[in-house]
Amino acid sequence: MNAIVCVDKNWGIGKNGKLLFNIPEDMQSFVLNTSYKPVIMGLNTLHSLPGGKPLKNRLNIVIAPEDEKLPESVVHVTNIKELSDYITKNDLVDKAMVIGGGMVYNTLLPFCDYAFVTRVDIDGNADTFIRNLDNLDEGFMFLYETPSRTVDIKDTEENIHAVSMQYVVYKNILNDC
């Protein structure tokens, strides 16, 4: 499986249960990279989606406590063992995309082959972070990046900033495939 995430310059990913930024181009890239695939997310990320509804055209697998009532279309798993059993039994391991949030990335990144990271060169004052994949101790190696470009992004307070962003790919060197 692989992970897809958008980070700020401090590897921040969210604030107050929401994304740090609205970046239409990155959303398009997210849709392209995840459509018709199984996506794995935590309960808080499900709640953060528009209307708290699962993503369309994707099999939504949500890690959430047992007593949570989730939408019917969602596959509800309560821990990593159940997740692993489900994706293995259904032959989804290679196709699955880990889509957040912080708890889920930090638990599942060691099991991902690649991390597709959108890097935004601004401090989003996040309250949720992922591990710094540039730190080799995390087990990931920088593979390639697109040239950086300046785009307009909207922050959580609807302020617009022109910032540099790029797509970066990291390969897991401990979980070698």
Which residues bind to ligand NAP, rule: CB under 6 A?
Answer: 5-6, 13-14, 17-19, 41-45, 48, 63-65, 79-80, 99-104, 107, 128
Nearer to ligand NAP, 18 or 149 (CB): 18
Residue 14, φ and ψ in degrees, nearest 5: -160, 165
Provide the total of helices (H) and of strands (E) in the chain, helices listed first. Answer: 4, 13
Looking only at Cα atoms, what is the longest distance across the chain? 46
Least distance to ligand NAP, CB of residue 15, Å: 6
Nearer to ligand NAP, 7 or 171 (CB): 7
Nearer to ligand NAP, 130 or 171 (CB): 130
Residues β-bridged to residue 168: 117, 145
Least distance to ligand NAP, CB of residue 107, Å: 4
Nearer to ligand NAP, 118 or 172 (CB): 118
Q: What is the DSSP string of 78-102?
A: -SHHHHHHHHHHTT-TTT-EE---H
Are 70 and 76 in contact by the 8 Å Cβ rule? The answer is yes
Least distance to ligand NAP, CB of residue 147, Å: 21
